[in-house]
Chains A and B, each alone.
Chain A
Amino acid sequence: MSEIVTHAKLRLIAVPGLDRPAALITLDNGLDHTKPNTFGPGGLTSLSQAIDEAHAANPSFIAVTGKPYIFCVGADLTGFSAMTSREQVVQIGRLGHATFAKLRESTVPTFAFVNGAAMGGGLEVALHCHYRTLSSGAAALALPEVSLGLIPGWGGSQVLPNLIGIVPAAQVVVQNPLMMNKMLKPQQAAEMGVADVLLEPADFLERSLEWAAGVVNGTVTVNRAEVDRSEMWDAVVGFARGELDKRLHGAVPAASKALDLLLLAKNGVTAEGIETEIQALADLAVTPELRSGLYAFDLVQRRAKRPAGAPDKSLARKITKVGVVGAGLMASQLALLFAKRLEVPVVLTDLDQARVDKGVVYVHAEIDKAVSKGRMSVGTAAKLRGLVSGSVDKSVFADADLVIEAVFEELSVKKAVWAELEQIVKPETVLATNTSSLSVTAMAADLAHPERVVGFHFFNPVAMMPLLEIVRGEATDDATLATAFAVGRQLKKSCVLVKDAPAFVVNRILTRFLGEIWNAVDAGTPLKTADRALDPLGLPMRPMALLALVGPAVAAHVGGTLHGAFPDRFSASPNLAAIAKSGLPLLVDERLNPEVEALLVQGDAPLTGEQVREQALAALAQEIRLMLDEGVVAEAADIDLCMILGAGWPFHLGGITPYLDRAGVSQSVTGRRFA
């Protein structure tokens, strides 16, 4: 794919207060803000030429700004993905450095007017300028490279710490990218010293030019905090490395490279530092972790927005009222989510008034909390309070277009709910079940209109987790499914179409994987050894921490369903059952609870950590292959998308199948790769 070139458009402009014109360079790829500015070789060359032309005009200063709402969001990733050799990466690294150095080493003062979103190479070009103004309306600032498996390779790792100091620089370069790719708000960035002055968006460019003129003619003084270059610098990098190892166990080479570079930056922006950065970029660019990172980025940016297998949108029915069966915690969370996103009346029902009241009170309390934290306006809160109501009489569902149930996970209970509801609701009302493991087909079996039943598998906490597994039962028709996807989109969830198979995707994979851990424990492997066996993968949490989060009882329930369906592969661990029954916490102060360890009844065939890992990975490869053969999802990419969004599995593994491929597990276990 050819580069969409972000052109650097140079204009010489008169600025009050200066004798000579200023050179203003606008970065603009000619498209609207939904297609942000990026840098490929063409864009860098254009900028380089514009800077040369600016110098030739002997301007009072040179400034770089962006198109409306966007400064520049960094390297053109499509172009980057297409690079096949290390030498190509070295070249693009050098081109970026050579271009940006013209701003940093300029004898004429240089400015960046960061009017909008600035990420990666976009933020780096600004960092190379002598001064920066920043719009308080800019969407976000970040150096997200490490999240993909790269490092900021156009000077970010060297210039930033020398501008703002090591502590905030480590946060921006390493810590934030690894925390769900956290971005900086303009206020925060300005406080850190990333910008010299924060200006309001309404007259950002006019004020920026005026400020720059003031800096040039001496009427504005720029104050920056002194950067602390004491041994504290080494200590901070050392501490960050320790924290990183605890969490990722070396699974993210980019993070540790980034720390090496930050350490090197202590001596200032040096030729050695720059060369090391370029080589590090090139080293990382050819790693499998980067390939996985780019693949994962593409999944969440693109595939998540265009779900595979979703029927035509035009088939979706309009939802003007939602019913929620049950008023427990899950039901109340769903009620709030539906009201907030769909902005239609949502009515909760339960067996008695006390339960209904409790559900409505919960929703109102959550709304109040959002208002008091400044996350919701008073007007929106008033509207939402009006939208959510409760009743013990299910006849309130008569005019609902969608009813979702969140009652006890028991097929007979759910079937009874639907049977009762079918007497009340319209024949085309969508009946959605929030089940984590029961069969949607079985649930719909005895209904007059089974075609309107669909599964909505949310993840906890439903307000936060981005994934929604949409389950198509055997009878589910296209209109119902299209409606489900339309609703999912309105709920701002990334939807994945899943066949009605036991435990769907995320729970099935996690259960199979945890099952292998329990098999090892049951056989005699120390709990601690088994728990740490997967550390080299850099998963977001260890198995026991995950189990503690889900709750042993829920895990045992899902495990039971899967054991019933596939007894050969999903064992029912007596130790897990015992722990669930005991009600003891798995972890105390983030360490394994000795009381739990004391409960274990183990065999005499302990495995090493490596053996546990091999078995767990083999089990994953086998299970995913079976799921693909069963048609649970359309492609392996959907499995990865589910694991990234539903379980937080990391970009550097590409979810999971790219890792299983590159580690050779899929080939050796199933005789073929996933991709």
Chain B
Amino acid sequence: MPREVRDVVFVDGVRTPFGKANGGIYANTRADDLVVRCIRELLRRNPQLPPERVDEVAIAATTQIGDQGLTIGRTAALLAGLPKTVPGYAIDRMCAGAMTAVTTVASGIAIGAYDVAIAGGVEHMGHHPMGEGVDPNPRFLAEKIVDPSALVMGATAENLHDRLPHLTKQRADAFGLASQQKTAAAYAAGKLQGDLVTVATRDPETGWGLATADEAPRETTLEKLAGLKTPFRPHGKVTAGNAAGLNDGATSCLLAAEDTARELGLPIAMRLVSYGFVGVEPEVMGVGPIPSTERALRLGGLTIDDIGLFELNEAFAVQVLAFLDHFGIADDDPRVNPWGGAIAVGHPLASSGVRLMTQLARQFAEHPEVRYGLTAMCIGIGMGGTVIWENPNWEGAK
């Protein structure tokens, strides 16, 4: 049966404020409640969308047990009060979980399997520390399928510094500081608040509170950053100041076929151009976004020069610098992470992909001169993921 591929649009996205993983604002809040809150807020912000028109709910989590288990896409849909007819599933590609949820349901929309879908992610790294319950196959090491450092993300970042020695610790620290400063400026200018849903947080000792802002951002200086410990290697380069922390948080977004969005009167914030996922050597997983971006550009018929805005996940400063270095982009290029990134706000693994998209969507609205933007991130066990988006506000179209 011949059929057309449909255009897929990003309608709207929200996230919880990101908390610190250990003893942070969400210490007593369930992971599923975080993502449920996002889904409900999406529906509330888009009352034109009849809930029964949601055809799929794909929710990512890296550790799919406990309050992130039980096929979280389905259970979150039920807990959010979506009709029981709306299906859901759980999805995992570690840090790119939410990004993969987006590309997977988007592909379904493109071929006509769905009209509207919700994609998102959640990671409560306080309840589920990295590596909880993993049981790596002994063959990985016995047969040298991966380097022993491949499963420790910080160690892979140190490896990247080794291979690209011109990406010095000073450059990484400077990038980390800039991330904090850009985030602070964005907060002060009210750029980030619109994406956030408040979360009621209960502390048995002190009572109910309300999370309204990211917990991780901090004021710092290059001097302070220079003095931080290097937990992954003695005299190493990766520190808490030039890497994302351990965080709790959730995201969700609404995707639709463009024709359905127009039928329902849903806003069109971004249009999907292409996406790519590519594997790299696991011990330098941070380079992943380079080949995945090349692939997405090729599939979209674009070059890096066509991209006017970049939302890159800052798992580690060195890994973003490697990307910029490869494409000949300056460390402080204003097109890159204009409102800061994960080093400041945090990186609750499987949830981060949608945060990049939500922020890119808001920047698109502010930058009608930009036609294309991209969201990219590195992924554990050696992968990169990139999604390229078109700005529907692009003034060149008029």
Whether the pair A209, B198 counts as a contact (CB closer than 8 A) is yes
- Against A, the Cβ 8 Å flags (1 = close, 0 = not) of B221-251 are 0000000000000000000000000000000
Whether the pair A16, B193 counts as a contact (CB closer than 8 A) is yes
- Against A, the Cβ 8 Å flags (1 = close, 0 = not) of B193-209 are 10001111010111111
Whether the pair A202, B79 counts as a contact (CB closer than 8 A) is yes
Number of interface residues of B (CB under 8 A): 22
Q: Does A499 contact B (CB under 8 A)?
A: no
Partner of B208, one of A11, A203, A210: A11
Given A26-B208, A30-B204, A202–B197 Cβ distance below 8 Å? no
Q: Does A14 contact B (CB under 8 A)?
A: yes
Q: How far is the CA of A11 from the CA of B211 in the complex (A)?
A: 12
Partner of A13, one of B41, B193, B210: B210
Contacts of B367 in A (CB 8 A): none
B212 closest partner in A (C-beta) = A14
Q: Does B81 contact A (CB under 8 A)?
A: yes
Whether the pair A13, B81 counts as a contact (CB closer than 8 A) is no
Q: Does A228 contact B (CB under 8 A)?
A: no
Contacts of A68 in B (CB 8 A): 202
Whether the pair B208, A202 counts as a contact (CB closer than 8 A) is no
Whether the pair A24, B197 counts as a contact (CB closer than 8 A) is no
Q: Does B40 contact A (CB under 8 A)?
A: yes
Contacts of B199 in A (CB 8 A): 206
Q: How far is the CA of A10 from the CA of B198 in the complex (A)?
A: 19
Partner of A24, one of B37, B210, B213: B210
Given A14-B212, A200-B81, A9–B40 Cβ distance below 8 Å? no
10 nearest interchain CB pairs? A26-B207, A9-B207, A205-B200, A13-B210, A26-B208, A206-B198, A14-B212, A11-B209, A206-B200, A13-B209
Contacts of B36 in A (CB 8 A): 202
Q: Which residues of A contact B (CB under 8 A)?
A: 9-11, 13-16, 24-26, 28, 30, 65, 67-68, 200, 202-206, 209-210
Given A24-B210, A203-B37, A206-B37, A16–B204 Cβ distance below 8 Å? no
Q: How far is the CA of A13 from the CA of B212 in the complex (A)?
A: 9
B84 to chain A, nearest CB (A): 12
Contacts of B41 in A (CB 8 A): 203
Q: How far is the CA of A9 from the CA of B41 in the complex (A)?
A: 28
B197 closest partner in A (C-beta) = A206
Contacts of A14 in B (CB 8 A): 210, 212-213
Partner of B210, one of A30, A200, A206: A206
B141 to chain A, nearest CB (A): 46
Q: How far is the CA of A285 from the CA of B62 in the complex (A)?
A: 60
A30 to chain B, nearest CB (A): 7
Contacts of B193 in A (CB 8 A): 16
Contacts of A210 in B (CB 8 A): 198
B72 to chain A, nearest CB (A): 15
Q: How far is the CA of A545 from the CA of B79 in the complex (A)?
A: 50
Q: Does B49 contact A (CB under 8 A)?
A: no
Most B C-beta atoms less than 10 A away, residue of A11, A25, A67: A11
Whether the pair A24, B81 counts as a contact (CB closer than 8 A) is no
Q: How far is the CA of A202 from the CA of B199 in the complex (A)?
A: 11
Contacts of A11 in B (CB 8 A): 206-209
Contacts of B207 in A (CB 8 A): 9-11, 24-26, 28
Most A C-beta atoms less than 10 A away, residue of B37, B81, B207: B207
B291 to chain A, nearest CB (A): 41
Whether the pair B212, A202 counts as a contact (CB closer than 8 A) is no
A–B Cβ pairs within 8 angstroms, 5 of them: A16-B198, A24-B207, A68-B202, A206-B210, A209-B200
Q: How far is the CA of A25 from the CA of B208 in the complex (A)?
A: 8
Contacts of B202 in A (CB 8 A): 26, 67-68
A4 to chain B, nearest CB (A): 15
Partner of B212, one of A10, A15, A25, A204: A15
Contacts of B206 in A (CB 8 A): 9, 11, 26
A205 closest partner in B (C-beta) = B200
A14 closest partner in B (C-beta) = B212
- Against A, the Cβ 8 Å flags (1 = close, 0 = not) of B381-396 are 0000000000000000
Q: How far is the CA of A15 from the CA of B210 in the complex (A)?
A: 8
Contacts of A206 in B (CB 8 A): 37, 197-200, 210
Q: Does B80 contact A (CB under 8 A)?
A: yes
B31 to chain A, nearest CB (A): 15
A16 closest partner in B (C-beta) = B212
Contacts of A202 in B (CB 8 A): 36-37, 40, 79-81
